[in-house]
Structure 1
Amino acid sequence: MSLDVTLQTDPGAISTDPVEEARRQIEICNACRYCEGFCSVFPAITRQKVFADGDITHLANLCHNCRGCYYACQYTAPHEFALNLPAALAAARADSWERFAWPGGLARLFQRHGSALAAALVLGCALMFLAVAALPGEGAGFYAYLGHSAMVAIFLPAFLLPLAAIGVGLRRHWAETGGGRVSVSDVRAALTSAARLKNLGGGQGQGCNFEDAERFSDSRRVAHQAVMWGFLLCFASTVSGTVLHYGLDSPAPYGPVSIPKLLGVPGGILLTLGCGWLLALKRRADPALGAPGRRSGEWAFVWLLGLVGLTGLLLYAGRDTALTGPLLAVHLGSVLTFFLLTPYSKMAHGFYRFAALLREARHSRRP
């Protein structure tokens, strides 16, 4: 197949600006259209011929980096077009997260430097060791080491303030991409796609080529689902504990057959195993097809998320022992770091990808 268009590319046409380079490659892809059925990105590309910056941002966040298009493409290097659409969209996507983040600069720091995230984790754990040592306990279980009121005073702002920062970033994203109004059916379609991780299944649902160029695999999709559902179960466990504490006057500790434990223990297992699986897949994947300059930040984030799940399980296993206090401090320190860095780490991708799915659902229903 040849590209029967007047597009010409020379080395000087390859831009160092992530949005411009993504636009160059998308215009070539739109002329070729060989990959039209690969994932949601390519049907979205074919809707138009001219791509504004907001369109590039939308397409970049719609891409899930499955890499099938790269391995099917005949215009990759050493061809003069030198296409690497997964890397181009990954660069534009990471650039958008950094531009939209509030306050500015923090996302660039934590997404580019895994050492910065590691330092934040050490600081978070140190603060929680100090809190456990200095603040009074209240009640039984882990509350005997750090009281409920102290936990609320620490974690309520640590949860709400990052959510506010994410809200600012999403508002900027929605304005740039021209999201517009969405309907209930749009929300339902986006939630269905997100729950199934549809775009990690390839165009025909056969899987993606993330960790092996020669083989389609659902491994990355399943690992992501384990992380996603594990995280949601852990969050549901926390919410159920809050309801029991405030709504039913039933404070922790809770027994092994209580709702918080029935949700939290399987959630922690899924989260830990899923993160370990993702790290193994990342080791096998070609780093040249990811976001340039963000590899260490991505690795550090997955380690942090896995540590949240693992330390929660260890805390449950080591309850009522001499290790309860130290394990509580490490677990709460990792959770605190995770919450505070949510707008500035790879965790932000979930919010922006859902916004892209919403916008795509809205455009798909328009005549």
Structure 2
Amino acid sequence: MSLDLTLPTLSAMDEARRQIEICNACRYCEGFCSVFPAMTRQKAFADGDLTQLANLCHNCRGCYYACQYTEPHEFALNIPAVLAEVRVDSWERLARPQALARLFQSHGVAMVGLLVVILAWFFWAITALRPETGAGFYAYLAHNTLVAVFVPAFVLPLALIALSLRDYWREVGGGRVRLSHVLHAFGSAARMKNLSGGHGEGCNFEKGDRFSDRRRVFHQLMMYGFLLCFASTASGTLMHYILGWEAPYPLLSLPKLLGVPGGLMMVAGAAGLAWLKLKADPALGAVRVWGGEMAFVLLLGAVALTGLGLYLVTGTGFVGPLLAIHLAAVMVLFLLMPFSKMVHGFFRLAALVAEAGKPAPTGGGE
């Protein structure tokens, strides 16, 4: 009869606590990003402290490549991977419903693909009920129909995210929010400060001995491209309801001047982020959610690409089927916001706001 001498596996939270306590004793990486100064405030870490540190982490991986305690050292530190696990766990645990969040993280590509196919068929089917009037894609789907379908699909996920953020704020001990905290957080997010590396040379995400700003640039292309597309939709809504100017809009109109560059930026950002993700070492992230993260990047790219394609095929027979695919991709993006990596932007901004409201780190190595 043999004895099982295998040590029990630590939970992600316990393993993060072990590694962070070692890092806090070393402090070699203190200037790399906001995680390391933040950890110097205490010597013992509650679960909420670790959740906050994990959502401050941008997974740039510079600390791993600079660390002297990674494998084969007995400490076996891998801060990017363990914080990625805690971060994803926080998104799943605080999401509503949790089961759907876990399903997306483990089967993201299949889930996105299936939902896009089903919803594309749905939108293609209802285009058979064409309105009597309307131009452009409004000749296929009435404006009021689109509003009735998409407003709930956008607002309800945002409400779920708001509930998750409320629970996150309580867990990490976020205090009273001041305007200065919010402005500081938005400034950091706008510059992608924590992807610039400890010395402003970029991060090591794609290769250990290479500093690069590529990931930062691709993230900025995606973020600002998405904001431009959102502004394009908002401007079109205002023009429709306030000015009585209905789509389609000419190239030199505000919706097109915002939407076309925004779409191109999103396509470039999605392609770049997917390329870097294929090049990077998966062991330095949350391996179990790699598929869900890639599905989210590809979905964003598909939304932008089909939106640009609609503009190119205007007036042809391709508008109907391409419109169905585009609307399905947008709908899936909205519906999965609380469960996909789309939620990381909300959590990370909340982490930056909470960090701005905390006392200054002690610094030093005492």
Pairwise same-fold verdict (TM > 0.5)? yes
How far 1:133 sits from its partner (Å)? Answer: 2.4
Q: Are positions 1:245 and 2:214 aligned together?
A: no
Change (3 A) 1:305 1:40: same
Deviates more, 1:117-126 or 1:50-59: 117-126
Change (3 A) 1:364 1:188: farther
Question: Would the aligned equivalents of 1:137 and 1:146 in 2 still touch at CA under 8 Å?
Answer: no
Residue in 2 aligned with 1:24?
A: 18
* Cα distance in 2 for residues equivalent to 1:289 and 1:254: 46
TM-score with structure 2 setting the length? 0.95
Question: Would the aligned equivalents of 2:206 and 2:280 in 1 still touch at CA under 8 Å?
Answer: yes
1:19-98 mapped onto 2 (5 Å cutoff): 19-98=13-92
Alignment gaps of 5+ in structure 1? 1-10
140, 145, 160: which one aligns with 2:140: 145
SS at match of 1:107: helix
149, 162, 168: which one aligns with 1:167: 162
Encode CA deviations 1:317-336: one digit per residue, 9 max, x unaligned.
Answer: 11111111111111111000
- Runs (4+) of structure 1 moved beyond 3 Å? 11-16, 134-138, 364-367
Residue in 2 aligned with 1:7?
A: none
SS at match of 1:154: helix
* Cα distance in 2 for residues equivalent to 1:352 and 1:15: 28
* Cα distance in 2 for residues equivalent to 1:12 and 1:115: 35
Residue in 2 aligned with 1:234?
A: 229
Residue in 2 aligned with 1:100?
A: 94
Identity of aligned residues (%): 61
* Cα distance in 2 for residues equivalent to 1:219 and 1:13: 41
SS at match of 1:342: coil
Q: Are positions 1:352 and 2:347 aligned together?
A: yes
1:308-327 mapped onto 2 (5 Å cutoff): 308-327=303-322
Encode CA deviations 1:213-253: one digit per residue, 9 max, x unaligned.
Answer: 11100000000000000000000000000111111111111
272, 293, 307: which one aligns with 2:267: 272
Change (3 A) 1:155 1:40: same
Residue in 1 aligned with 2:254?
A: 259
How far 1:117 sits from its partner (Å)? Answer: 2.2
Alignment gaps of 5+ in structure 2? none
Question: Would the aligned equivalents of 2:116 and 2:325 in 1 still touch at CA under 8 Å?
Answer: no
Residue in 2 aligned with 1:4?
A: none
Q: How many positions carry a matched residue from both structures?
A: 357
How far 1:161 sits from its partner (Å)? Answer: 0.6
Change (3 A) 1:280 1:188: same
Q: Are positions 1:222 and 2:193 aligned together?
A: no
Question: Would the aligned equivalents of 2:37 and 2:361 in 1 still touch at CA under 8 Å?
Answer: no
TM-score with structure 1 setting the length? 0.94
Change (3 A) 1:364 1:220: farther
* Cα distance in 2 for residues equivalent to 1:365 and 1:314: 49
Amino acid at match of 1:343: P
197, 200, 205: which one aligns with 2:195: 200
How far 1:20 sits from its partner (Å)? Answer: 1.2
How far 1:12 sits from its partner (Å)? Answer: 7.5
* Cα distance in 2 for residues equivalent to 1:313 and 1:165: 30
Q: CA RMSD in A?
A: 1.5
* Cα distance in 2 for residues equivalent to 1:175 and 1:137: 52
Amino acid at match of 1:26: I
Question: Would the aligned equivalents of 1:14 and 1:21 in 2 still touch at CA under 8 Å?
Answer: no
